[in-house]
């Protein structure tokens, strides 16, 4: 039987051999806290605060409005080019602007326009709520209907009426990862476009949108990309669709000549047509600074460590949490989070946080532990599981059901 002492030694050995271990030193993390919520809000890289202060002092304060013509205006596309390699996109297809919800609205409306005569939008039945809300409103505004379908069933459910299918790459509750290339190819054979939500995969999985033939994608930057609270999202439009990408928010920032002040809108010829209004420069440049931590990171190593952290979590849970139910797949069809079923998840997570293990929960009964390969350690994984075990033992008499079904 494996003991806690054995697992402590194993965690130490794994951390010592971790080729990404040095990256943790680039983040501003409390040494007394084990942080497992990077899948909701990534930890801040240490240099971001000074960089943002310099933007305020030197660019906003020192250059004032001149900064717009000294790099600010072009920043959405420039920062987009930094994210593009992390999702496997060639240059010219990704722009950083607005929020995920706003970009979903743009992309869904544009997709219906690219598929005239098709009146149906398929939505991943297990989608993050905002995706479904936006799809419902797009359908109401464009005269389409929405049908919610399990992602793996979409290819056989799609037909000649289907304009676009909206799928989350990684399920936000269970952490399950869907096969992007297979689903995209199968849906294309029905004539439908495919829009992927990458919020829980960018910065975790080695996403390959170009290789998979993805049409459109959106994603946030404040989770695994560590862009900061409210950091702007991104929009990907495959090159083959750029000329026909007619988004509904035809704001001045997406115009071919924003400062011409014409009376009629003319869309930019490139990915900048995905922009709408004036960019949030402070948040955008904070993101730009945060992306420095990705310089030189091997995405293969990133994925390997994310999977290994999950494997170690499973191993610790099997040894120390007898009877625990884990919703996350144990094979490689998963992202970088582990979801543990708990009958009183809100109370349990609050108790974990009090003890310095910060994750989150999703109603009604899921504890989520995000595994950010750039800074999560194997020792912290063991700490999360041993703390769960301590709570479970303390609450046995009150039948709290930690780890129960």
Compute the distance between CA of residue 155 and CA of residue 211 in angstroms, rounded to an integer: 19
| Helix 378-395 vs helix 299-320: crossing angle, to nearest 10 | 30
What are residue 390's DSSP bridge partners?
A: none
Task: Indicate which residue of 27, 36, 128, 375 is catalytic.
Answer: 128
b/e string for 159-182 if b means 16 or more Cβ within 10 A? Answer: eebbbbbbbbbbbbbbbbbbebee
Active site annotation includes 36 = no
Task: Indicate which residue of 223, 275, 305, 334 is catalytic.
Answer: 223
**Phi then psi dihedrals of residue 369, to 5 deg:** -125, 105
**H helical segments located in 324-374:** 345-354
Active site annotation includes 197 = yes
Task: Indicate which residue of 368, 383, 389, 392 is catalytic.
Answer: 368
Contact indicator for 192, 115 with CB cutoff of 8 Å: yes
Structure tokens at 184: 């995209």
Three-state secondary-structure class, residue 196: strand
Could you tell me which of 254, 203, 211, 180 has the C-alpha nearest to residue 82? Answer: 203
Active site annotation includes 115 = no
| Secondary structure element (H or E) that encloses residue 357, with its range | strand 357-358
Compute the distance between CA of residue 242 and CA of residue 253 in angstroms, rounded to an integer: 16
Residues in the chain: 405
Compute the distance between CA of residue 75 and CA of residue 245 in angstroms, rounded to an integer: 21
Q: How far is CA 132 from CA 32, 247, 352, 363, in A?
A: 38, 19, 31, 17
Could you tell me which of 326, 357, 385, 308 has the C-alpha nearest to residue 2? Answer: 385
| Secondary structure element (H or E) that encloses residue 52, with its range | helix 48-54
What are residue 45's DSSP bridge partners?
A: 27
Active site annotation includes 46 = no
Active site annotation includes 6 = no
Q: How far is CA 79 from CA 106, 235, 295, in A?
A: 19, 12, 13
Task: Indicate which residue of 171, 197, 255, 288 is catalytic.
Answer: 197
Q: How far is CA 196 from CA 89, 109, 214, 386, in A?
A: 13, 14, 8, 36
Task: Indicate which residue of 35, 172, 222, 312 is catalytic.
Answer: 222
Compute the distance between CA of residue 307 and CA of residue 313 in angstroms, rounded to an integer: 10
The pairing of strands 120-124 and 145-149 is parallel
- Residues belonging to the active site: 128, 197, 222-223, 368
């Amino acid at each position: 039987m494996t003991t806690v002492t054995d697992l402590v030694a194993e965690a130490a050995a794994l951390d010592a051999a971790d080729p990404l271990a040095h990256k943790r030193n680039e983040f501003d993390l409390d040494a007394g806290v084990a942080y497992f919520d990077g899948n909701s809000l990534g930890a801040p890289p240490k240099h971001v605060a000074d960089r943002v202060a310099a933007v305020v002092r030197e660019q906003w304060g020192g250059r004032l409005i001149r900064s717009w013509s000294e790099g600010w205006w072009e920043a959405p596309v420039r920062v987009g080019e930094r994210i593009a390699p992390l999702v496997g996109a060639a240059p010219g297809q990704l722009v950083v602007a607005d929020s995920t919800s706003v970009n979903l609205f743009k992309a869904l409306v544009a997709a219906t326009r690219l598929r005239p005569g098709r009146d149906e939008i398929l939505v991943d039945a297990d989608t993050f709520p905002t995706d479904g809300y936006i799809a419902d409103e797009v359908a109401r505004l464009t005269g389409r209907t929405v049908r919610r379908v399990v992602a793996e069933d979409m290819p056989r459910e799609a037909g000649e009426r289907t304009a676009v299918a909206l799928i989350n790459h990684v399920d936000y509750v269970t952490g399950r990862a869907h096969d992007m290339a297979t689903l995209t190819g199968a849906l294309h054979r029905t004539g439908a476009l495919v829009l992927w939500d990458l919020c829980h995969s960018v910065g975790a999985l080695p996403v390959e949108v170009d290789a998979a033939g993805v049409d459109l994608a959106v994603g946030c930057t404040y989770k695994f990309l560590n862009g900061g609270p409210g950091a702007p999202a991104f929009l990907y439009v495959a090159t083959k669709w750029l000329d026909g990408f007619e988004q509904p928010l035809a704001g001045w920032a997406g115009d071919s000549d924003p400062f011409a002040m014409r009376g009629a809108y003319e869309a930019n010829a490139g990915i900048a047509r995905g922009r709408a209004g004036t960019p949030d420069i402070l948040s955008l440049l904070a993101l730009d600074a945060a992306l420095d931590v990705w310089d030189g990171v091997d995405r293969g190593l990133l994925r390997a460590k994310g999977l290994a952290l999950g494997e170690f979590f499973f191993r610790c849970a099997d040894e120390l949490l007898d009877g625990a139910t884990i919703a996350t797949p144990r094979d490689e069809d998963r992202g970088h989070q582990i979801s543990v079923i708990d009958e009183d998840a809100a109370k349990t997570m609050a108790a974990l946080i009090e003890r310095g293990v910060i994750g989150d929960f999703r109603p009604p009964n899921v504890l989520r532990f995000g595994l950010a390969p750039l800074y999560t350690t194997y020792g912290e994984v063991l700490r999360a599981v041993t703390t769960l075990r301590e709570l479970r033992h303390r609450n046995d008499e009150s039948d709290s059901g930690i780890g129960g079904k």
